[in-house]
Chain A
Amino acid sequence: MRRFALLAAIVALAPLVLRYPELETQILTFGLLAVAFNLLLGEMGFLSFGQATFNGVGAYAAARVLIDAHAALPLALVVAIAAGAVTAAIIGALAITGRGVYGVMLTFAFNEMAYYAAFQWRAVTGGDNGLSGVPRPGIFGIALDDPTRYYYFTALVVLLAFAAVLRMNDSPFGAVLRAIRENEERARAIGFSVRHFKVTAFAISGALSGLAGGLYAGLYRFVPLQAIDLDTSTNVVIAALLGGTGSPYGALLGAAIFTVLSNSLSHVWSHWPLIFGLVFCAVVLFFRGGLWSLVDRRSRRAAHA
């Protein structure tokens, strides 16, 4: 609770310190995506290499209803959530039939398919030009045109989603996910229908990823093809591992560092991913629990035991 209050305070004060509301909004949407990814990896032990699929589907779905139906923003986000959840439930149900690395490869393959579908289906996605002209309507009579206002709207939604994730990790359902992560065979033997839990976890992760995509579509009033590409999926993996998979806070921290570094380093040196690669290797080699484990003892113990 104290941690969450601290997080909320940092999020609330950030625009007063760093005056880049767009960058900060991007940290939050990417952070939410990393938290969604970490639900599968950190809690359930499934490495999803196609998290951008659900992000992209959510972004396109939200953008389409905003453009075509002039929908209200909350409705567009609900559509994004639903689209992400359904897509993830279907892909998850198929991916978990593959054992170990084959399951990972299936999420990867579906991401590739989704990318090419988006690339080809210009009428809906704009292809590689991206989908522009996404309106950003206000809510409850409050205009959100101003980047700082949109930041605060995003912050509110992301903090709510984050609180829901914390709550879920604490729930009987979250406990079963950790049991599956630790020992799937044993979980089955004590009577848990592992398949149903996995598909449900995928749906929840997809819902959060879709929400992140919907918020992202509103951020630049534009959905680039990048929203659904494999690079984004890879970046999510890197950000979450960098921050630490032992806690949703870790995923959020990793996403913040990744976003800031990729924005600042790319201005300094075009080969910035090289530096980032070294940092990433160092974290994976020497801080298996990620950066968050330097803060939190409990996740460090879990990572090394």
Chain B
Amino acid sequence: MLRTRELTKRFGAHAAVDGVDLTIRPGTLHAIIGPNGAGKTTLFNLLSGELRPTAGSIAFGDRDVTQLDATSRSQLGMGRSFQRTNVFPKLTVFENVRLAAQSRTGDSFALWRSASALAAVNARAERVLDEFGLLGYRSQLASELAGGDQRLLELAITLATDPVLLLLDEPSQGLSPEDARRLIDRIGTFAQRYTIVLIEHNMPLVMRLAEEITVMNFGRILAHGTPNEIRANADVRAAYLGTRPLSS
């Protein structure tokens, strides 16, 4: 589904991502973990197209997407969510999701039609909102939602673009334990339908959801395997200096 070859990003002399070969198999939830500064977010931004690599390549399906920008990758079916809540604050909850659904149609340059008349787009937006339990807030401004709900909305926006591959960047970051649990449950309900790359600090979440885990340190891949293999890996324990227990 997604494959990187020798993927490298240098900032000056510092290689934030250094020769990473990553293979994401279709239908899996693949978590990328590692200590702070390991290069996870840089890797993520390379995958989503926010950054261009210094060297190496990225293939999505059988297509080389290394030189494509974030917009084109989204159009190919690579949907991303953001580490901080990233919604359209002064638009309604419905409009937030409706726009994402609209981006899949060829109607966005239509000047003479009414946006509310795009029936398929509206139906899709409603379905996604319903799935996330946000339909009751549809007329509220996104900025009026509570923090946990905004994060759900953020995910709903991404899903409304009908992606094939989901790139989730620390979805539980900054949430209260309760909101984090709610979010994890939500991801659990749709995980089966997508291929997901997940960056996450929350180890219980990773161990519960992930089928494969790649551990990064100093911009390189330190280990790769199933949650049980990673839990037992001595190198991984050393990288975390034993300060963070890997079992939940």
A171 contacts which of B48, B71, B91, B113 (Cβ < 8 Å)?
Answer: B113
Alpha-carbon distance between A187 and B95 when the two chains are bound, in angstroms = 12
**Most interface-central of B103, B143, B144 (chain A CB within 10 A):** B103
A173 CB within 8 Å of chain B: yes
Of the listed stretches B19-27, B82-90, B177-185, B239-247, name the one at the interface; the rest are far from the partner chain.
Answer: B82-90
Q: Which residues in chain B, 78-130, are within 8 Å of chain A measured between CB atoms?
A: 79-80, 82, 86-91, 95, 98-100, 102-105, 107-116, 118
B residues in contact with A192, CB < 8 Å: 71, 103, 108
Some 18 contacts from A to B, beta carbons below 8 A apart, are: A168-B111, A172-B102, A172-B107, A172-B115, A175-B98, A182-B89, A183-B88, A186-B88, A187-B99, A189-B48, A189-B80, A189-B86, A190-B100, A190-B103, A191-B75, A192-B108, A194-B71, A200-B109
Alpha-carbon distance between A57 and B168 when the two chains are bound, in angstroms = 48
Residue contact A172 to B118, C-beta cutoff 8 Å: yes
**Most interface-central of B79, B98, B100, B118 (chain A CB within 10 A):** B100
Residue contact B99 to A190, C-beta cutoff 8 Å: yes
Residue contact B111 to A171, C-beta cutoff 8 Å: yes
Residue contact A174 to B141, C-beta cutoff 8 Å: no
A185 CB within 8 Å of chain B: yes
B residues in contact with A189, CB < 8 Å: 48, 70-71, 74, 80, 82, 86
B161 CB within 8 Å of chain A: yes
Render A157-184 as a binary contact track against B, CB cut-off 8 A, 1 for contact.
0000000000110111111101100110
Residue contact B71 to A172, C-beta cutoff 8 Å: no
B157 CB within 8 Å of chain A: yes
Residue contact A172 to B110, C-beta cutoff 8 Å: yes
Alpha-carbon distance between A171 and B115 when the two chains are bound, in angstroms = 5
Nearest Cβ on chain A to B25's Cβ, whole angstroms: 24
Given A301-B141, A302-B90, A305-B144: A190 and B157 within 8 A (CB)? yes
Alpha-carbon distance between A190 and B166 when the two chains are bound, in angstroms = 12
A297 CB within 8 Å of chain B: no
Render A266-305 as a binary contact track against B, CB cut-off 8 A, 1 for contact.
0000000000000000000000000000000000011001
A193 CB within 8 Å of chain B: yes
Given A183-B88, A186-B157: A174 and B115 within 8 A (CB)? yes
A122 CB within 8 Å of chain B: no
Q: Count how many pairs of residues, one from A and one from B, have CB atoms less than 8 Å apart in the complex.
A: 101
B71 contacts which of A179, A191, A200 (Cβ < 8 Å)?
Answer: A191
Given A173-B108, A191-B71: A305 and B86 within 8 A (CB)? no
Taking beta carbons and an 8 Å cutoff, which residues of B are in contact with A?
48, 69-71, 74-75, 79-80, 82, 86-91, 95, 98-100, 102-105, 107-116, 118, 141, 143-144, 157-158, 160-161
Instruction: Known A-B contacts: A175-B99, A175-B102. Give 8 more (CB < 8 A).
Output: A170-B115, A170-B116, A186-B86, A186-B88, A190-B103, A190-B160, A191-B71, A305-B89
Residue contact A193 to B71, C-beta cutoff 8 Å: yes
CB-based nearest B residue for A193: B71
Taking beta carbons and an 8 Å cutoff, which residues of A are in contact with B?
167-168, 170-176, 178-179, 182-183, 185-194, 197, 200, 204, 301-302, 305
Alpha-carbon distance between A290 and B157 when the two chains are bound, in angstroms = 31
Nearest Cβ on chain A to B199's Cβ, whole angstroms: 15
Q: Interface on chain A toward B: helix, strand, loop, or mixed SS?
A: helix
Given A189-B80, A191-B161, A192-B71: A167 and B111 within 8 A (CB)? yes
Alpha-carbon distance between A182 and B107 when the two chains are bound, in angstroms = 20
CB-based nearest A residue for B161: A190
B residues in contact with A175, CB < 8 Å: 95, 98-99, 102, 115
Nearest Cβ on chain A to B231's Cβ, whole angstroms: 33
Nearest Cβ on chain B to A92's Cβ, whole angstroms: 16
CB-based nearest A residue for B75: A191
Alpha-carbon distance between A305 and B139 when the two chains are bound, in angstroms = 14
Alpha-carbon distance between A258 and B112 when the two chains are bound, in angstroms = 31
Nearest Cβ on chain B to A66's Cβ, whole angstroms: 29
Nearest Cβ on chain A to B80's Cβ, whole angstroms: 6
Nearest Cβ on chain B to A218's Cβ, whole angstroms: 26
9 closest A-B pairs by CB: A191-B74, A182-B88, A191-B103, A190-B100, A172-B115, A191-B75, A175-B115, A172-B107, A190-B103
Nearest Cβ on chain A to B28's Cβ, whole angstroms: 23
Nearest Cβ on chain A to B197's Cβ, whole angstroms: 15
Nearest Cβ on chain A to B47's Cβ, whole angstroms: 12
B residues in contact with A167, CB < 8 Å: 111-112, 114
Residue contact A191 to B89, C-beta cutoff 8 Å: no
B residues in contact with A176, CB < 8 Å: 99, 102, 108
B residues in contact with A173, CB < 8 Å: 108-111
Alpha-carbon distance between A171 and B113 when the two chains are bound, in angstroms = 5
**Most interface-central of A183, A186, A197, A301 (chain B CB within 10 A):** A186
A residues in contact with B157, CB < 8 Å: 186, 190
Alpha-carbon distance between A193 and B71 when the two chains are bound, in angstroms = 6
B residues in contact with A301, CB < 8 Å: 141
B residues in contact with A171, CB < 8 Å: 110-115
